[in-house]
Structure 1
Amino acid sequence: MKAEREGYYAIFVSHFPDAGSYDVRSVADMPVTGLGQATMLWCCKLGQHLGIVAINPGSAPWFHQQAGKYGLRGRGGRIYSVRFEPGQIPGAYGGEGKAVEIKDPFDKQAEALVAQSTEGPPYEADRDASSMINSHPASP
């Protein structure tokens, strides 16, 4: 691998779903981790249960599979999501007003997720992932 030949010590996949990280691990002779793995494991140090606010409800099955790969299926599973139009998130970098359009829906979902996690038990690990999506669409 090019990174090994150039003297790198590790590979970090900077995309939350860690796409391709298992493939890279199979051929690399160096540590490989990703943003999703690092974030989920760090969250385990802060609390007993995990929760995710996603930018798309369709990503929930991927996140459940990802948590399972990291041995975290019993640590949570609630996924709240926000719906955005294509290009809306990158467009938020255009000014403070646009950033609030993105931040507010995330904040609302995070607050709902925290409230839900304190009001009830975590999901059962054998439930269908699609039944664990608690989507509260936000207006773009």
Structure 2
Amino acid sequence: MRIFWQSFIDETASAAYMARLSDYLNGIAEPGTTVEVHGISPPDRSFGRLSEFRCAILAIDNGLAAEEAGYDAVVMGHFQDPGLLELKSAVSIPVIGTGEATMHFAAQQGRHIGLVTLDDVFRTMHLEQGDLYGLSGRISHVAGLNADPSDFSACFAGDLEAKARMIEAFRLVAEPMVTGGADVIVPAGVLPGLLIGSEHGLCFGHAPVINCAAVALKAAEMQVKLCALNGLQPSRGPFCAKAPRQAIEDFRRLVANGRGASPVPRR
């Protein structure tokens, strides 16, 4: 089984993180499964909807290429899941959204879910995810670490003091959620998920901490096996109708060649 893992992080600027993520995923994968981690350049930066949209376009194009290259599944390794449904509609192999898979798994571990995201700018996006995934009534708290991806670089390069500082920053955000009624804590991002998830059995009070990287990978392995077992795919009705070949070709041509000259004249 070959899994294409699409990160929204730059492979060069965050080389230590990408190497750590690849080693971790391949270390926990089932025998016979290989996970190839790919980044995006420029990465998701200047956080906001437009950056998410730009990265989604590249991720969808990469997912289409991954299917053509013979991968068995694509994981959107970015908790906000931008472009998830569009990619599901465009390919026949399983597409796993880290946010979607993790939120549904967390809902099996507790009633009230606390999300610790990378930055407060993502708060509204996560609440919208909850609505989309039918879990809006289960998400009780969302708060940001207000950290930059580069803040994790030293942690994944082996700096134990930097790692301890980041875990402490996570704790300071998560513990008030538990006090306020959260039953389970979710690092809403693979960066904090990989950092926190490496702590075996980590809980804040009674609330377990979910490792979103592990959940996404195991969801991918499960879906590939279920697809092989009984041909399971997403509903191809109104929810996720298969994109026509022309739509896919038009999309890939736009990504490859750009739009050309702008129709809006400069003043």
Give the TM-score taking structure 1 as reference length: 0.74
The residue correspondences of 1:19-38 to structure 2 (distance < 5 A) are 19-38=82-101
- Amino acid in the other structure paired with 1:42: F
**Aligned equivalents of 2:99, 2:168: Cα separation in 1:** 23
Instruction: Return closer, same or farther for 1:87/1:3 CA change in 2, 3 Å cut-off.
Output: closer
Q: Does structure 1 residue 61 correspond to structure 2 residue 116? A: no
RMSD over aligned CA atoms reads: 1.8
The CA deviation at 1:39 is: 0.8
Letter in 1 for 2:179: A
Partner of 1:101 in structure 2? 165
Give 1:101 deviation, angstroms. Answer: 1.4
Residue 45 (str. 1) matches residue 45 (str. 2): no
Query: How far did residue 56 of structure 1 move?
Result: 0.8
Give the Cα separation in 2 of the matches to 1:42 and 1:86: 25
* Partner residue of 2:79 out of 5, 11, 16: 16
Given the alignment, which residue of 178, 193, 200 partners 1:114? 178
Identity across the alignment (%): 27
Give the SS at the match of 1:74. coil
In the alignment, structure 1 segments of 5+ residues that lack a partner are 119-140
Deviations 1:62-106 (A, max 9, x none): 111111111111112411222225621223334101111111010
TM-score by length of 2: 0.41
Change (3 A) 1:35 1:86: closer
Q: Which structure exhibits the higher relative contact order, with contacts defined as CA atoms closer than 8 Å and separated by 6 or more residues?
A: 1
